[in-house]
Amino acid sequence: MPELPEVEVVRSGLAPAMTGARIVSVAVHDERALTRHAAGAADFVARLEGAEVTSVARRGKFLWMPLAAGSSDGRAAIVGHLGMSGQLLLRRPDAEPERHERIRIFLEHPEHGELAVVFADQRTFGSLAVDTLVPTADARAAGWGSSDPLIPSQVAHIARDPMDEAFQDRAFREALRTRSSAIKRVLLDQNLISGVGNIYADESLWAARIHPETPASALSTTAVNRLLAEVRAVLEKALAEGGTSFDAQYVNVNGEAGYFAHSLNAYGRTGQPCTRCGGPIRRDAFMNRSSHFCPRCQRRRR
């Protein structure tokens, strides 16, 4: 599943093409891509056609595109979640249909001219919707790419991500003191810290020398601070390298794959030597997925 770096790469690619653009028309090819838009395809199209997009924003793994106040619904936004295999691609309006294309949004941009944003999704777990904007709980800007304290209602429960300047390290440390769950499980809790998935959790825990099954409450303040620093370092490096791509599903708006996979130290390296100590990387089952870690460098605490 795409994590924060992959989604941010998509956001930053969409922003120049969508900000200030008018939505000319919308073609819904598969209503399964509108599972989060309960009113259905006709309503989705009617609320978007003629609207102007003011920005492209992100919190965690969610994207949204606020609509201008003068549009058909001024306190609303297009909300996108890529699910496991979703893609948002920039194309010419007359470009051939993408494989697994579900929705095509036709735009007219004052600088770039006619464009199309294509939502393609092989496994159909991703979705688009038009959603109402509500005030953020802390009255701060809602996320990356947004200067407004307004967030889609479908995203309001998602915690800020560690790259967000409004993320509160102290509140995160205090929350961990009351959690007996494994620290990796906590890192994947999008209600506490967003944007971190299985790959970057493994990489961050490896970098911080923390065993993934260590109870969160057992971590010292120093260890939590070290972990947060490593989470940010891993995410920043992945952002610089375009995200992690293991197959053709994880691409940016131009269909190009990221290459952070070549920089991984733990994830997917089962049995290979740890780049720090030389011991073999171990893979354990974890929440229907896997954890990858070095038993020698990341000793388990109880």
Q: Which residues are annotated as a binding site for DNA?
A: 100, 123, 179
**Closest listed residue to residue 155, CA positions, set 195, 109, 104, 201:** 195
Contacting residues for 126 by C-beta, under 8 A, at least 6 apart = 33, 80, 81, 82, 83, 84, 85, 86, 119
Q: How far apart are CA 155 and CA 70, in angstroms?
A: 23
| Binding site feature residues | 100, 123, 179
Identify whether the C-beta of residue 270 lies closer than 8 Å to the C-beta of residue 255: no
Q: How far apart are CA 83 and CA 257, in angstroms?
A: 17
Q: Is 3 a catalytic residue?
A: yes
Q: Is 2 a catalytic residue?
A: yes
Q: What's at 219, amino acid-wise?
A: L
Query: What is the residue whose two structure tokens read 């200030």?
Result: 20
Which of the residues 283, 289, 296, 301 is marked catalytic?
289
Contacting residues for 12 by C-beta, under 8 A, at least 6 apart = 145
Q: How far apart are CA 152 and CA 65, in angstroms?
A: 10
Q: Is 289 a catalytic residue?
A: yes
Which of the residues 58, 59, 61, 91 is marked catalytic?
61
Q: How far apart are CA 93 and CA 97, in angstroms?
A: 10
Which of the residues 2, 5, 152, 212 is marked catalytic?
2
φ, ψ for residue 9, nearest 5 deg = -60, -40
Q: Is 237 a catalytic residue?
A: no
Active site residues: 2-3, 61, 289
